């Protein structure tokens, strides 16, 4: 194949997707250029002392778009990361936030290390030093730039970042809002850890809810009974698999870096995790077939494939052999532009990353709001709601002569806790955003696929924000 889409870098893929979608809009060229350019790129190096001696570590923070502030995006720890990747990820964050109506610009950070090679103490040193580099250049702050977890980082790293920021900004009452994805005890919000995976599940469930769309793929309506393969059993992959399983799907395959397992009768996600903890590998899981070459799992029989590891996993090389009818992009950039061309010709429906994995930033937004308001969601209203429902039940009991049992009463009158409100907000966001994207395709029949539609939505929203700022009258 001699497609110009071959061998593009991650960032070039994003630019190509942008340009393709921009051709379906009528925004001025200058405005489109402004939207797609990365505004600020901070690349730096810092020393740390490990058990092996001094080491120089490379770090980045890229702020893609300041059309809304703060900018927002995760921090990745990976030995393979480079500036191109951080620029790509920062750009995707801008479009992602726009799609789910989260009022932030996009950003991304990275540290070029393999966390497995460092002790916890060394990781803490690296994280705190990385944070102080961001502070020095005003690349972090509740109203400036708010990082979050990504590949290789989690709540622990976010707590170190929050603590370092607070130490450099004594007395700043909103300091906790400088980073999201923190542990709940350190100002985090309930539901953030599982939010991206839960969002992937909501996205898949919504896509499968349209009988006509499913019919075109040769599938039945609904998630129930659909066979799913997941690549990456980390934060996003584990939670996406778990919620899909709870939603009635059958997890037939799981791939990790050490290999993959397949069982058409279905794998129990939590048992696989337990097996991996005990044996340090997902291989040899009872009843399942081992697939020693992990990437081959992507090509096995299934209805839905969830790549939730890293970018560039589905390429023009393996795309012809992919059997899934739906690809739900849990990871950022897992499908290359050249692979997408092949898959679309095969009538595969791709749920694009900029929508599919936006659950994380959605709940990060809720965490940021919680930190700024200094009050737990549900604290003010829960008991009041409960009392209102209780009065309503008493009225129903009087009117009907029926009395409710204690259990019924408790179930009906329960007021919303933080986790209920977070999950409800996430579900509403994912469902509405999908329907906006789907409508875009329905309205404009020239738009060929969901990724282009999602980019068009995002470009329109960011363009509007710039026009409202008066930058492009
Ligand atoms: P993670 O570090 O928690 O998990 C990633 C998992 O993938 C790890 O278990 C790793 O061993 C595995 N893996 C790596 N290479 C693999 C390979 N070649 N084959 C199979 N498995 C492999 O990271 P995460 O936070 O789950 O992020 C995964 C992806 O989701 C990334 O692309 C990230 O940018 C994206 N994402 C994450 C979030 C979030 O909230 N964490 C939000 C949006 C998007």
Q: Is 424 left (phi over 0), alpha (psi -120 to 50) or beta?
A: alpha
Q: 323 in helix, strand or coil?
A: coil
Ligand 1 centroid vs 246 CA: distance in angstroms? 21
Tell me the best of 77, 151, 199, 269 to mutate to test the pocket of ligand 1, counting ligand atoms within 8 Å of each CB and taking the most: 151
Q: Which residues are catalytic?
A: 108
User: Atom 28 (ligand 1): residue with closest C-alpha?
Assistant: 309
pLDDT digits (tens, 9 = 90+) for 163-203: 999 999 999 999 999 999 999 999 999 999 999 999 999 99
Average pLDDT estimate for 423-437: 98
Average pLDDT estimate for 418-436: 98
Ligand 1 centroid vs 310 CA: distance in angstroms? 6
pTM as predicted: 0.95
pLDDT at 472: 65
Ligand 1 centroid vs 309 CA: distance in angstroms? 4
Provide the percentage of residues in the chain whose pLDDT is more than 70. Answer: 99
Average pLDDT estimate for 44-54: 93
DSSP notation for 178-196: G--S--GGGT--TTSTTHH
- Taking 70 as the threshold, does the pLDDT of residue 473 lie above it? no
Ligand 1 centroid vs 254 CA: distance in angstroms? 13
Q: Which atom of ligand 1 is nearest to the CA of 357?
A: 43
Pocket of ligand 1 (CB under 6 A): 149-152, 196, 231-237, 255-257, 294, 308-310, 330-332, 357, 360
- Taking 70 as the threshold, does the pLDDT of residue 204 lie above it? yes
Please name each of the domains of the chain with its CATH number: 40-186 (3.40.50.10860)
Ligand 1 centroid vs 171 CA: distance in angstroms? 36
Average pLDDT estimate for 107-118: 97
> For the chain, how long is the longest CA-to-CA vector?
79
Average pLDDT estimate for 135-152: 97
The pLDDT confidence band at residue 1, using thresholds 50, 70 and 90, is very low
Listed in sequence order, the DSSP H helices in 292-400 are 337-345, 353-356, 359-373, 382-400
User: Atom 38 (ligand 1): residue with closest C-alpha?
Assistant: 150
User: Atom 17 (ligand 1): residue with closest C-alpha?
Assistant: 257
User: Atom 23 (ligand 1): residue with closest C-alpha?
Assistant: 151
Average pLDDT of the chain, as a whole number: 96
pLDDT at 470: 78
User: Do 377 and 370 form a contact (C-beta atoms < 8 A)?
Assistant: yes
The pLDDT confidence band at residue 395, using thresholds 50, 70 and 90, is very high
- Taking 80 as the threshold, does the pLDDT of residue 284 lie above it? yes
Q: Which atom of ligand 1 is nearest to the CA of 255?
A: 20
Q: How many CB atoms lie within 10 A of CB 355?
A: 29
């Amino acid at each position: 194949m001699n497609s110009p889409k071959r061998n593009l870098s991650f960032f070039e893929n994003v630019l190509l997707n942008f340009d393709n979608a921009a051709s379906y809009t009528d925004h001025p060229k200058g405005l489109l250029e402004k939207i797609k350019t990365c505004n600020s790129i901070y690349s730096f190096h810092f020393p740390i002392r490990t058990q092996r001696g001094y080491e120089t570590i490379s770090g980045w923070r890229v702020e893609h778009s300041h059309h809304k502030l703060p900018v927002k995006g995760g921090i990745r720890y990976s030995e393979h990361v480079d500036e191109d990747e951080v620029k790509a990820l920062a750009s995707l964050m801008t479009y992602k936030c726009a799609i789910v109506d989260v009022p932030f610009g996009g950003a991304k950070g990275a540290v070029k290390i393999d966390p497995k090679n460092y002790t916890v103490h060394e990781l803490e040193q690296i994280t705190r030093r990385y944070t102080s580099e961001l502070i020095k250049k005003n690349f972090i702050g509740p109203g400036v730039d708010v990082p979050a977890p990504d590949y290789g980082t989690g709540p622990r790293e976010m707590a170190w970042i929050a603590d370092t920021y607070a130490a450099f900004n004594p007395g700043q009452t909103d300091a906790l809002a400088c980073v999201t994805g923190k542990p709940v005890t350190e100002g985090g919000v309930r539901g953030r850890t599982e939010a991206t995976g839960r969002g992937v599940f909501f996205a898949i469930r919504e896509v499968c809810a349209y009988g006509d769309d499913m019919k075109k793929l040769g599938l039945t309506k609904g998630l129930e009974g659909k066979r799913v393969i997941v690549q990456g059993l980390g934060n996003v992959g584990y939670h996406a698999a778990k919620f899909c399983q709870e939603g009635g799907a059958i997890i037939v395959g799981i791939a990790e870096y050490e290999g993959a397992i397949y069982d058409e009768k279905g794998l129990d996600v939590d048992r696989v995790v337990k097996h991996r903890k005990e044996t340090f590998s997902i291989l040899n899981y009872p009843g399942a077939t081992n697939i020693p070459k992990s990437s081959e799992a992507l090509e096995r029989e299934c209805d839905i494939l969830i790549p939730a590891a890293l970018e560039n996993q589905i390429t023009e090389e393996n795309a012809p052999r992919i059997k899934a009818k739906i690809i739900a992009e849990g990871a950022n950039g897992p499908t290359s532009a050249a692979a997408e061309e092949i898959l679309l010709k095969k009538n595969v429906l791709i749920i694009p990353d900029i929508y599919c994995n936006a659950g994380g930033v959605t709940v990060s937004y809720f965490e940021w709001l919680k930190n700024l308001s200094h009050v737990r969601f549900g604290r003010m209203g829960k008991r009041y709601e409960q009392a209102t429902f209780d009065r309503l039940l008493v009225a129903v009991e009087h009117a009907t002569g029926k009395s409710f049992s204690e259990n019924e009463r408790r179930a009906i009158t329960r007021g919303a806790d933080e986790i209920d409100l977070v999950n409800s907000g996430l579900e509403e966001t994912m469902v509405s955003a999908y329907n906006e994207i789907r409508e875009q395709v329905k309205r404009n029949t020239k738009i060929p696929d969901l990724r282009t539609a999602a980019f068009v939505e995002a470009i329109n929203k960011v363009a509007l924000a710039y026009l409202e700022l008066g930058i492009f009258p």
